[in-house]
Amino acid sequence: MHYKAIVLISAFFLFSSSFIAPGKKTNTRIYKDILKDVEKHGQAFSNLKNVTHTIGHRLTGSKNGSEAEAFALKLFKDYGYTNAQFLPFEVKSWSRNKVTLDIVPDNSDIFREVKVVSLAHSPLSANLSAPIVDCKDGLESDFAKVQDDLKGKFALFNVDVQSPENKGKKNLHRSEKTAFAIQHGAAGVILVNKVKGNVLLTGTASVTGELIDIPAVCISYESGRAIRNWIKDEKHILAQVDMLNYYRPVRPRNVSATYPGLKKYENEKIVIGAHLDSWDLAQGAVDNGLGAFSVIDIARVFKTLKLKTKRPIEFVLFMGEEQGLLGSKQYVNQAKASGEIDKIALMVNLDMLNNCKGFNTFGDSDLAEIAQRVGNDIKSVDPDFKNQHTSHAGLHSDHQPFMLNGIPICSPNGELSQKAIDCYHADCDSFDLINESEINKNVKYTAMLLYALANADKLPKRKSDFEIRDYLIAQNLKKELIIGKDWRWAE
């Protein structure tokens, strides 16, 4: 063979080999490159520190929220994503004004003022004085016991399951408990936090993201104990709630950046996302600065290392998750309207991820096999990886609209310190809870999984409508979806 021909053929194979689906040896080599890059140059920690200290909270529709969107877009562009863009949408967003709670013995002028915060989607205004009924843990069985006495009164219940008679029962989201209270005629809701130390939490009390008709507030664990003691001692006491809130049209922006794949696989896009917004009581470092700035740094890793992927990857930061998955629902609805939904093969969601130790494959056996195989390879490269996987589905995060449309879901598993857990949605969710080594593990291991998924021989197939229904039933999610008015099949 002529020398020039040999050179040309060798060059061809050298060039084309970078586009061949990588095998285990290639994967582990790439994993080592990812490991080295993140440990030396990881920027998730510093970026999160910057945004929490210069912007603060990231409430959807607020000035802070808009500044955070611009901050994220600039990071994507700085990392080489010239296609980074805003995906604006129009919704109504709730925000708090003021609220007070007084506890008053019946037929008395004496009152006790209790520290309180409003739960999101409470009415624009409310001034209500009514007796309190203890609804224990706020489960369906708890409401059944007091249903004859609850109408026109405040329902008091725990954010978690505490009563001995409910031991082992599945807890419900605060919005689902509020929905039960409304169904049973409650005129108001008082949610009791589970965390000691006078910690207050916020969050939505609405299953739909729309305003509810009754005021809903949260009090501390200590205040809950005190009120229950007052009920025992004084038999009849009244709660008086006075609140004002805002609910107005806003134009938040999801932030998107796309990493290209091969044309052959353009209809098998992987979406990796996290919500950028947070509540306004604190900096939102854990919820969900951890996830959002891990996603951005994963995007940086792919660009820095010039990784070759068969499938395109879209990195998306969603706004409005805290107010009812507003940004992710809008993204999915727009994708359905344009037909782009058929091009999404898989969704990876990072919500409050910290110290990644494995992957949750949401009850998909094919995806579980991939996760285990990838996990074994990661552990061979980095023995610190725990390689601990789960496979169960849940609700109330940005994967939900994708899951309800049959798209396979994967989410990295991790662990939070007890202090971070106690600051969930609370006024103590600040940057001092973040550990640099642990957030870097999010980036390292999720980037490795993402690379493997983007180059897998095949991904799990999309579910048909009937398969979605059966899957949700098998995952014990039907009742919650009915409460949330997200169940589209005949009951």
Q: Residue range 329-345: average pLDDT?
A: 98
Question: With contact defined as beta carbons under 8 Å apart, do 298 and 339 qualify?
Answer: no
Q: How confident is the model at residue 2 (pLDDT cuts 50, 70, 90)?
A: very low
Least confident residue range of 1-5, 365-369, 427-431, 462-466 = 1-5
Question: With contact defined as beta carbons under 8 Å apart, do 412 and 442 qualify?
Answer: yes
Chain segment 8-67, per-residue pLDDT in tens = 434 433 333 333 344 556 799 999 999 999 999 999 999 999 999 999 999 999 999 999
Q: Residue range 172-181: average pLDDT?
A: 97
Residue 303 has pLDDT above 50, yes or no: yes
Q: How many CB atoms lie within 10 A of CB 25?
A: 9
Which element (helix H / strand E) includes 65? Answer: helix 63-78
Please return the burial class of 201, using the count of CB atoms within 10 Å of its CB with bins 0-12, 13-18 and 19+: buried
Instruction: Name the DSSP letter for residue 211.
Output: P
Structural domains of the chain in order of their starting residue, each with its CATH number: 22-90+251-460 (3.40.630.10), 96-246 (3.50.30.30)
What is the rounded CA–CA span in Å between residue 487 and residue 436?
40
Residue 393's nearest CA partner among 357, 351, 364 is 364
Q: How confident is the model at residue 110 (pLDDT cuts 50, 70, 90)?
A: confident
Q: Looking at residue 109, what is its pLDDT?
A: 65
Question: With contact defined as beta carbons under 8 Å apart, do 250 and 59 qualify?
Answer: no
Q: Looking at residue 9, what is its pLDDT?
A: 38
Q: How many residues does the chain have?
A: 491
Assign residue 443 a region (left: φ > 0; alpha: ψ between -120 and 50; beta: otherwise): alpha
Question: With contact defined as beta carbons under 8 Å apart, do 124 and 118 qualify?
Answer: no
Query: Any residues with CB less than 8 A from the CB of 186 and at least 6 apart, and which?
Result: 133, 150, 151, 153, 154, 155, 214
Distance of CA 354 to the CA centre of its chain: 13
Amino acid at 39: E
Q: Phi and psi at residue 270, in whole multiples of 5°?
A: -105, 130
Residue 363 has pLDDT above 80, yes or no: yes
pTM value is: 0.93
Residue 6 has pLDDT above 50, yes or no: no
DSSP states of 76-119 = HHHTT-TT-EEEE--EEEEEEEEEEEEEEETT-S--EEE--EEP
Q: 3-class secondary structure for 154-196? A: EEEEECCCCCHHHCCCCCCCHHHHHHHHHHCCCCEEEEECCCC
Residue 242's nearest CA partner among 337, 101, 387 is 101
Q: Looking at residue 375, what is its pLDDT?
A: 97
Chain segment 133-148, per-residue pLDDT in tens = 999 999 999 999 999 9
Residue 158's nearest CA partner among 200, 221, 102, 205 is 221
Pairing of strands 358-360, 313-318: unpaired
Rounded to 10 degrees, the C-alpha dihedral 345/349/355/357 comes to -40
Residue 423 has pLDDT above 50, yes or no: yes
Cα-Cα end-to-end distance for the chain: 72
Q: Residue range 332-336: average pLDDT?
A: 98
